[in-house]
C-alpha cells in the first residue's frame, strides 16, 4: 500500500523538477528498461546471430575462401550457430556435436535442394540433373545400388585394373608427375568405366574430352553462376556449352547402343534393360559420373601424395597387398593386374585393415566438404536457435575432422588413430562417408576403386614426394579453401617414380 501511495508523489516530484533533471531521470529509466529487456528471453533470441556488415560481402568469401570464411564467422559472432545472406537466401551455419547429430538426422533437411543452390558445380539440365521428379531420383539411387551389388562389382574389378594398367604403362620406366592431375585422370577413367558404357570408356579421346568439359564446369562455377544462373555471364555461357556437349556425348552413346541391338556387359546396358526412360539414363550418367570421379579422385590423389611422404605407411600398404596376392592369387600369373583381379571382392572389402585406415584418415584430413541442406519444413531448433522453413543449413566437416579436442594434431596424417566409439565417447565423431539419413550412396564402388588403383601403383612403382627441383619433401597441408580438390599450390609437389621389376 505505501508503494502505491508513493507513485503519485514521485510523479509530482518528477514533473516539478527542472528540465535537466527530467532528462537525466528519463535516460536512467530507459537504460534500466533496455538492460532488463536484454536480460529476458525474447523471440529475437531464437534467431542465430547474423554476421556483421553488408550481406553482399559474404558472397565471394563463401564461394572462394569457404573454410576461412566459416571459421571467421564462428569467431566474430562468438556463437556455435550463425547466419548470413546469399542474395535472398538465408544460410545458417552449425557447429558442435549436438548440432551435428541434429543436422544429419533432420527429416526435413533436403540435400538435393541445398546442393543445387549452394554448390552449382554439376551440369544442370532441367528434368535430367535438376528439377528431377522424386520418382526419378529414387530410380537413379536404385540403379546405383545395383551397380554395387556383389556380382556387378566383382565383374568391374578386372576392368578397373586393366584401365589402370594401361594408364600406368604410359608412365614409362621413370619420371615425375603431378598427382592432382594424373591420379585424377586415372580415377575419372575408372569411374567412366564403372558408371557409363564400354564405348565411352574404351575411347580415350572421348574420356579426355569429358574430363575437360567437367573441369570447365568446375572452373566456371562462380558466385554469379550459382546465385543468378539466368544472367548470361561469360562463365555461365561456357558452363552451358560444356553441359550441352556432355549431354550430347551421353545421349549419342545411348542412341547408338539401342540402334545397334548389341548387348554389352556395362552399366548403360543395365539401365536400358531396366526399362528406364532416357532422361533417367542420361541423368544417372551425367550426374553420378562427376560426383563420383571428383570425390574419389581427390581422395586418391591425396593418398598417393601422403604415402609418397610417409614411407612407413607406404611399406605397410605394400606388405598388405603382397600378402593378399600370396593368399588369393596364382603366383605363376604373369602380371600384377591379373593377379590382383583374382582376389575376391569380399577379401578386398574385409581383409585390408591398412588400406582401410589410410583411406579413412585421408578422408578426414583432405576432404574439404561442407554438408549443405535446405530445410523443407517444419521449422526446427538446433543449438537452441530457430531454423525456419526455407532456410539453407550448412555443416562444415572441418568442425569435427579438424577439431584438436577430437583428433589431436589434426593436420597430421596418422592412419593409426584409434576409431572413436560414437555410442560411448562422442556423437558422430567421423562423417567421412556421410552419416545419419544421408550417406554416400557410392561408397562401396569408391572404396573398391581406391584399393585397386592404389594396390597396382604401390606394387608397380617405387616413388617419393618431391618439390619442383626434385628434392624430397614432406606432404603439404591440404587447402580446405579449395572446395573441390583441397589441393596445395600448383607446382608445389610431385611424385618421382621408377618402375619396379614386376610386370603390370
> Over the stretch 261-291, which tens digit does the pLDDT of each residue have?
899 999 999 999 999 888 889 888 988 888 8
CA distances from 117 to 136, 294, 338, 434 (A): 20, 19, 45, 20
- Higher-pLDDT residue of 241 and 29 is 241
Contacts of 110 (CB under 8 A, 6+ apart): 373, 374, 375, 376
Nearest to 394 by CA among 92, 178, 171: 92
Q: Percent of the chain, pLDDT > 70? A: 87
Over residues 102-131, mean pLDDT: 71
Residues making up the chain, counted from first to last: 504
Contact by Cβ (8 Å): 47, 85 = no
Q: Which of the residue ranges 86-95, 105-114, 383-392 would you say has the lowest mean pLDDT? A: 105-114
Task: Please write the tens of the pLDDT for every residue from 440-473.
Answer: 889 999 999 999 999 999 999 999 999 999 999 9
Quote the pLDDT of residue 195.
Answer: 95
Q: What is the DSSP string of 213-242?
A: HHHHHHHT--HHHHH-TTS--HHHHHHHHH
Residue 206 binned pLDDT confidence (cut-offs 50, 70, 90): very high
**Model's pTM, two decimal places?**
0.87
284: left (phi over 0), alpha (psi -120 to 50) or beta: alpha
Rounded Cα distance between 439 and 314, Å, is: 29
Over residues 235-239, mean pLDDT: 82
Q: Where are the beta strands (DSSP E) in 342-439?
A: 370-375, 380-382, 385-387, 392-396, 434-435, 438-439
Q: ∠142-143-145 over CA atoms, to 5°?
A: 65
Residue 378: asked if its preceding bond is cis (omega within 30°), the reply is: yes
Sheet containing strand 81-86, edge to edge, reads 49-50, 81-86, 89-94, 392-396, 370-375, 109-110
Over residues 417-433, mean pLDDT: 83
Task: Please write the tens of the pLDDT for every residue from 339-368.
Answer: 999 999 999 999 999 999 999 999 999 999
Quote the pLDDT of residue 126.
Answer: 52
Rounded Cα distance between 140 and 287, Å, is: 10
Quote the pLDDT of residue 42.
Answer: 37
Quote the pLDDT of residue 233.
Answer: 81
440 annotated as belonging to a binding site for a ligand: yes
Nearest to 202 by CA among 254, 149, 266: 266
Nearest to 202 by CA among 136, 154, 268: 268
Residue 41 binned pLDDT confidence (cut-offs 50, 70, 90): very low
CA distances from 338 to 144, 156, 158, 447 (A): 26, 13, 7, 19
Over residues 325-337, mean pLDDT: 92
Amino acid at each position: 500500500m505505501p508503494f502505491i501511495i508513493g507513485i503519485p508523489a514521485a510523479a509530482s516530484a518528477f514533473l516539478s523538477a527542472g528540465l535537466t533533471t527530467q532528462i537525466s531521470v528519463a535516460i536512467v529509466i530507459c537504460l534500466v528498461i533496455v538492460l532488463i529487456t536484454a536480460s529476458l528471453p525474447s523471440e529475437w533470441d531464437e534467431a542465430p546471430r547474423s554476421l556483421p556488415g553488408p550481406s553482399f560481402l559474404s558472397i565471394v568469401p563463401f564461394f572462394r575462401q569457404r573454410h576461412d570464411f566459416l571459421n571467421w564467422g564462428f569467431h566474430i559472432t562468438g556463437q556455435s550457430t550463425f547466419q548470413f545472406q546469399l542474395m535472398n537466401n538465408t544460410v545458417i551455419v552449425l557447429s558442435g556435436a549436438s548440432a551435428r547429430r541434429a543436422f544429419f538426422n533432420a527429416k526435413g533437411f533436403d540435400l538435393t535442394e541445398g546442393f543445387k543452390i549452394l554448390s552449382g558445380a554439376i551440369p544442370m539440365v532441367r528434368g535430367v540433373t535438376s528439377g528431377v521428379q522424386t520418382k526419378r531420383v529414387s530410380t537413379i539411387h536404385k540403379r546405383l545400388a545395383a551397380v554395387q551389388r556383389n556380382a556387378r562389382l566383382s565383374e568391374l574389378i578386372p576392368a578397373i585394373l586393366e584401365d589402370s594398367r594401361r594408364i600406368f604403362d604410359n608412365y614409362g620406366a621413370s619420371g615425375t608427375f603431378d598427382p592432382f592431375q594424373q591420379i585424377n585422370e586415372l580415377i575419372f577413367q575408372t569411374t567412366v568405366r564403372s558408371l557409363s558404357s564400354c564405348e565411352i570408356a574404351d575411347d580415350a579421346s572421348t574420356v579426355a574430352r569429358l574430363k575437360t568439359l567437367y573441369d570447365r564446369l568446375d572452373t566456371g562455377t562462380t558466385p554469379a553462376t550459382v546465385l543468378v544462373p539466368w544472367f548470361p555471364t561469360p562463365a555461365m555461357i561456357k558452363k552451358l556449352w560444356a553441359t550441352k556437349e556432355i549431354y550430347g556425348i551421353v545421349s549419342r552413346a545411348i542412341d547408338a547402343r539401342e540402334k545397334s541391338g548389341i548387348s554389352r556387359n556395362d552399366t548403360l546396358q543395365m539401365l536400358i534393360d531396366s526399362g528406364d526412360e532416357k532422361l533417367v539414363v542420361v541423368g544417372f550418367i551425367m550426374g553420378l559420373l562427376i560426383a563420383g570421379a571428383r570425390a574419389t579422385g581427390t581422395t586418391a590423389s591425396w593418398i598417393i601424395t601422403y604415402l609418397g611422404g610417409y614411407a612407413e605407411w607406404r611399406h605397410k600398404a605394400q606388405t598388405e597387398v603382397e600378402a593378399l596376392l600370396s593368399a588369393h592369387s596364382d603366383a605363376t600369373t604373369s602380371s600384377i593386374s591379373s593377379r590382383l583381379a583374382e582376389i575376391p571382392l569380399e577379401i578386398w572389402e574385409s581383409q585390408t585393415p591398412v588400406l582401410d585406415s589410410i583411406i579413412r584418415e585421408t578422408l578426414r584430413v583432405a576432404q574439404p566438404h561442407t554438408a549443405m541442406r535446405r530445410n523443407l519444413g517444419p521449422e526446427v531448433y538446433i543449438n537452441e536457435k530457430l531454423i525456419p522453413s526455407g532456410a539453407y543449413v550448412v555443416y562444415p566437416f572441418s568442425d569435427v575432422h579438424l577439431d584438436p579436442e577430437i583428433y589431436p594434431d589434426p593436420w597430421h596424417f596418422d592412419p593409426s588413430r584409434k576409431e572413436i566409439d560414437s555410442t560411448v565417447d562422442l556423437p558422430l565423431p567421423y562423417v567421412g562417408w556421410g552419416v545419419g539419413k544421408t550417406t554416400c550412396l557410392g561408397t562401396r564402388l569408391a572404396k573398391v576403386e581406391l584399393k585397386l588403383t592404389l594396390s597396382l601403383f604401390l606394387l608397380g612403382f617405387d616413388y617419393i614426394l618431391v618439390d619442383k627441383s626434385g628434392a624430397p619433401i614432406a606432404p603439404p597441408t591440404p587447402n580446405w579453401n579449395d572446395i573441390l580438390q583441397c589441393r596445395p599450390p600448383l607446382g608445389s609437389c610431385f611424385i618421382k617414380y621408377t618402375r619396379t621389376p614386376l610386370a603390370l
